[in-house]
Amino acid sequence: HPMLDAASGHLAAAGGKRVRPLLALLAARLGDPTATGVVDAAVVVELTHLATLYHDDVMDEADVRRGAPSANARWTNTVAILTGDFLFARASDLTAGLGTEATRIQSRTFARLVEGQISETAGPAHGQDAVEHHLQVIADKTASLLATSARLGALMAGAPPAHVETVARFGEVFGAAFQLSDDLIDVLSESGQSGKTPGTDLREGIRTLPVLLVLASDDEAGARLRELLQSDLTDDARLTEALGLLRAHPAMQIARDRLESYVEQARSIADDLPDGPVRTALSSLTDFVLARTG
């Protein structure tokens, strides 16, 4: 259908970093990167990611994605939801061609993505630590698909099972680091450098790691910031004040330390792989995550 064709190509054409297919193709170099199924595995993880973006934008009532109007803004919520469903269907169809194991991996990943989204929507359970809840949401919503990207790439390339497990573990930890760096960029970025306007999450009331750390603290100096964070930050003046206070708050260093510990963990997992171009490239990816947070 022409509307489905237009809508389903919309976000892919708008750009993106393509981190998931990159990881799949990198992991494939632990085996035979020219093996049948390697490229399809890379396509599957990107289609799955794209499908979640269409649904995310509906849930977040977002108007912009990747610098272009979101599908729900350009068409309608209904079209965006159906387009996401269609992309999941295409991903599943491709995965079926990769075999039973790949199909099981993809469907379990899909379930984790949904669990992460539900968990984020519901918020922390009674008595649950908000920071731990946030890290679990990140693990399910983001890290799971990056782990699967690496796993499917290595698996389709016929890499040794131990390497498949190692690179999947790398994907999981790297995925969490990648998302945490996004949390920090929201506070630290100067407009335009990352394609993200600073304070976008703050404005929308999204509780990123630095915000959760501030809310959990009870220092006298952070009182005004906590008050701002619990109020409506769609007002530009208040948002600017909150951003300034947040940048100066010790929570930023704690969040950065947390990010660095994930990065170190990812590096040490990469070091379990044989010396060579894949290990070097994975190390560079971890450097990139730290570098993009400035």
Q: What is the pLDDT of residue 208?
A: 92
- In the chain, how many domains are there? 2
Do 43 and 90 lie in one domain? The reply is yes
| Structural domain boundaries, residue 88 | 1-159
Q: What is the pTM of this model?
A: 0.90
Query: Does residue 178 lie within any of the structural domains?
Result: yes
Do 118 and 245 lie in one domain? The reply is no
Q: What is the pLDDT of residue 55?
A: 82
**DSSP per-residue codes, 194-258:** TSS-TTHHHHTT---HHHHHHHH---GGGHHHHHHHTS---SHHHHHHHHHHHHHSTHHHHHHHH
- Residue 219 CA to residue 129 CA, distance in Å, equals 18
Query: Does residue 219 lie within any of the structural domains?
Result: yes
Query: Does residue 167 lie within any of the structural domains?
Result: no
Closest alpha carbon to 174 in 14, 27, 73, 275: 27
Query: Does residue 166 lie within any of the structural domains?
Result: no
Do 150 and 179 lie in one domain? The reply is no
Q: What is the pLDDT of residue 87?
A: 92
147's CB contacts (< 8 A; 6+ apart) are: 109, 168, 169, 171, 172, 175
Q: For every one of its 294 residues, what pLDDT tens digit does the chain have, with 9 covering 90 and above?
A: 877 777 777 776 766 788 999 999 999 999 999 999 999 999 999 999 999 988 887 777 666 665 666 667 677 788 888 889 999 999 999 999 999 999 999 999 999 999 999 999 898 989 889 999 999 999 999 999 999 999 999 999 999 999 999 999 999 999 999 999 989 988 887 765 555 678 888 888 888 999 999 999 888 878 898 998 888 888 888 888 999 999 999 999 999 999 999 999 999 999 999 999 999 999 999 999 999 887
Do 142 and 29 lie in one domain? The reply is yes
Do 177 and 155 lie in one domain? The reply is no
- Residue 194 CA to residue 70 CA, distance in Å, equals 18
Q: What is the pLDDT of residue 3?
A: 73
- Residue 266 CA to residue 177 CA, distance in Å, equals 8
**DSSP per-residue codes, 244-288:** HHHHHSTHHHHHHHHHHHHHHHHHHHHTTSPSSHHHHHHHHHHHH
| CA distances for 175 relative to 15, 16, 179, angstroms | 19, 16, 6
Q: What is the pLDDT of residue 287?
A: 92
Q: For residue 121, what are its two tokens?
A: 């929507």
Do 193 and 248 lie in one domain? The reply is yes
Query: Does residue 183 lie within any of the structural domains?
Result: yes
Query: Does residue 165 lie within any of the structural domains?
Result: no
Do 110 and 26 lie in one domain? The reply is yes
Query: Does residue 49 lie within any of the structural domains?
Result: yes
- Residue 174 CA to residue 111 CA, distance in Å, equals 20
- Residue 44 CA to residue 46 CA, distance in Å, equals 6
Q: What is the pLDDT of residue 53?
A: 86
Helix (H, G, I), strand (E, B) or coil at 36: coil
Do 108 and 235 lie in one domain? The reply is no
